[in-house]
Copies of this chain bind each other. A is one copy, B any other.
């Protein structure tokens, strides 16, 4: 057991607040939480909103396509669609040319909701980008992409 006044050792830095990895994790949590707060009137969470937006913009989508766009697995996309379908926001239409897939499409209510969401979404994002220039955001995205790339390639 060493002195408590010992200067920062390398091992100490791991969980510290200024630690890059920890910052990313915390940021993800806070972003999700902020989106949830901002979308509470529409009763949507961040992922449901993402699905809604993608369906509004890119027409009927297969669940696998949806999963790819949202960066989640197919199983998660399935339960996501389940929830939206149960609320009448989305419909599953059988694809006549491929009996394996569902064509997930917005219902009329869903399209109306997507329009309302669109406006709210830009409000939220503007609030989250306070104090950051467009250049900052671009740079941040670039660095995050690098980090993701390194993490994905990393093999034990």
- Nearest B residue to A32 via CB reads B25
- Nearest B residue to A145 via CB reads B23
Q: Quick one: CB contact mask for A110-129 with B, threshold 8 Å, 1 for yes?
A: 00001001100110110111
Cβ contact within 8 Å between A127 and B141? no
Q: Quick one: CB contact mask for A35-64 with B, threshold 8 Å, 1 for yes?
A: 101101100001001110110111110000
Segment at the interface with B among A8-16, A82-90, A94-102: A8-16
**Distance, CA A118 to CA B12, complexed state (A):** 9
Cβ contact within 8 Å between A125 and B21? yes
Q: Which of these, B34, B57, B148, contacts A8 with CB under 8 Å? A: B57
Q: Which of these, B15, B136, B143, B152, contacts A54 with CB under 8 Å? A: B15
Q: Which of these, B127, B147, B156, contacts A38 with CB under 8 Å? A: B156
Q: Which of these, B34, B117, B131, contacts A11 with CB under 8 Å? A: B117
Cβ contact within 8 Å between B9 and A56? yes
A137 CB–B CB distance under 8 Å? yes
**Distance, CA A22 to CA B145, complexed state (A):** 11
**Distance, CA A144 to CA B6, complexed state (A):** 28
